[in-house]
Amino acid sequence: MSMYNEMLEIILLVLVIIDAKDAKLERITNLMLLGLFLWCGFCTLEILNNSCGLGINVGAWYMGTRMMAFQLLYAFLTFSLYIKNPKILIRYLFIWGSLALFASFWIWKQANIGLTHSEEVWLYGAGSNTHIIQNGTLIRYFSIFSDAANFGIGIASTAVAFIIFGITSKIKKHRIIFLIIGLASAWAMFPTGTRTAIACFIAGFMVYIFLSKSVKIAVPFTVIFSTFVFIIVFTNIGQGNQQIRRMRSAFNDNDPSSNVRKINQEAIKSYLKDAPWGLGVGIWNSGGIPTNNKFHKVFSTPADSEYVGIWIRTGVIGLTVFLISNGIMILGACIIVFFRLKSPSLRGIGAGLTCAMISQQVGGYGNMVLFQFPNCLVFYGGLTIVYILPFIEKEWTEWENKELAKQEEKNRLKLEQKLAKRV
């Protein structure tokens, strides 16, 4: 799926180059580009990795690097060059929100009305081991995404973003729409049965308490958020619901699934001591590792986590580079939100996108989701938007003032009509 996504991005980039006079090329020179160059450069060097002794497979390397690195760069360039002004930004947020609402509706439809034929074929076939659990009594619904984890974590991060957009927007209709999208998305993560999703949701809002820079927002937000966390972690409220009960197990240190992952990671660690550069970024695209190869055990052990997957493919060196590059990108976004943006509503958009990205990274710790479509495009693209915001802040303030003036005029006319009816 990412290939089609990247083809679209490349076509959009070509169109920008053709119409170069409108390109805002100065907007791409930032810390995010530095972080991406660092990661893409490392993955390019991985073409020389022959830790498994199977020779160099350029095709497999490219397929792996395209998914792990190049698609991030394509998304960054596309968003940097196309989000040019406030109208395009708001239009993009509404498109994203509309798709999130449709996905939320679809998971409700799956749970309450039923699955389509193709969904049933996948669920009771390839997806049965991971999506029909607890002796067949619980189905993990997946909406229009590839699987429940991909959707659950993506929609949890979307909920974080839109709730923050909603509470910081000055325009009433936008505030209402954003909050509806955010709350619908928050509900939609529960039918997925993806335990990491609740941790993503919590992590995103924890960061926002810091980025809000507002006591009026931070204090009530902290109270509401702390109450929610207390209910989920320390009480049995809603325990009769299977989905809530499964979500709550994310905080259980003795959870069997979590313990199996820890055992697998210890086994992987012992093998990767001899492969500091990993087994190669294209190892899962090359046909596998023979059973007589000492790294076959690592190859056949489920990664269960994007970070573990990166660790297997690029070793401790690659995992370190990935963490540093993402740290650079996220830190740069936090600096922009906290220090450079003056408009409270624009800061809210920046904070929402940054917190959603951090939420997504937490998801990557528990599941293979960071490079999956559409999460990779949405959240790395969203972080790109944060870097664009300082360039459009002046235009944003002018646009927002016009919208607020229209809102005030509309309210004035309504008040006049009410007064006229009383006479």
Domain ranges of the chain: 2-388
Region 384-412 average pLDDT:
90
135-140: average pLDDT: 76
Please report which confidence band the pLDDT of residue 4 belongs to, taking 50, 70 and 90 as the band edges.
Answer: low
185 pLDDT band, cuts 50/70/90, is very high
Mean pLDDT over 334-361 rounds to: 95
Q: With helix as H, strand as E and coil as C, how does the chain read?
A: CHHHHHHHHHHHHHHHHHCHHHCCHHHHCCHHHHHHHHHHHHHHHHHHCCCCCCCCCHHHHHHHHHHHHHHHHHHHHHHHHHCCCHHHHHHHHHHHHHHHHHHHHHHHHHHHCCCCHHHHHHHCCCCHHHHEECCCCEECCCCCCCCHHHHHHHHHHHHHHHHHHHHHCCCHHHHHHHHHHHHHHHHHCHHHCCHHHHHHHHHHHHHHHHHCCCHHHHHHHHHHHHHHHHHHHHCCCCCCCHHHHHHHHHHCCCCHHHHHHHHHHHHHHHHHCCCCCCCCCCHHHCCCCCCCCCCHHHHHCCCCCHHHHHHHHHHHHHHHHHHHHHHHHHHHHHHHHHHHCCCHHHHHHHHHHHHHHHHHHHHHHHCCCCCCCCHHHHHHHHHHHHHHHHHHHHHHHHHHHHHHHHHHHHHHHHHHHHHHHHC
pLDDT in tens, 301-329: 777 789 988 998 899 999 999 999 999 99
Longest dimension (CA), the chain: 92
pLDDT at residue 11 tops 90: no
pLDDT band at 238 (very low <50, low <70, confident <90, very high): low
Q: In the prediction, which pLDDT does 35 show?
A: 96
- The model's confidence at residue 21, banded by pLDDT at 50, 70 and 90, is low
Residue 5 is encoded by which pair of tokens?
């996504």
The tens digit of pLDDT for each residue in 95-104 reads 999 999 999 9
Find tokens 């991030």 and name the residue. Answer: 72
Give the highest mean pLDDT range of 54-63, 113-122, 218-227.
Answer: 113-122
Lookup: tokens for 115: 């699955």
Residue 259 has pLDDT above 80, yes or no: no
What is the reported pLDDT for 20?
A: 54
pLDDT in the model for residue 108: 94
Q: Identify the pLDDT of residue 32.
A: 96
Percent of the chain whose pLDDT exceeds 90? 41
Match 């199977």 to its residue by tokens: 54
User: What's this model's pTM, rounded to 2 decimal places?
Assistant: 0.89
pLDDT-derived band at 91 (thresholds 50, 70, 90) equals very high
Q: What average pLDDT does range 282-309 have in this prediction?
A: 77
Between 149 and 244, name the one with better pLDDT. Answer: 149
More confidently predicted of 260 and 279: 279
Average pLDDT over residues 251-270: 70
Q: Quick one: tokens of 343?
A: 């408009």
| pLDDT, greater one: 66 or 389 | 389
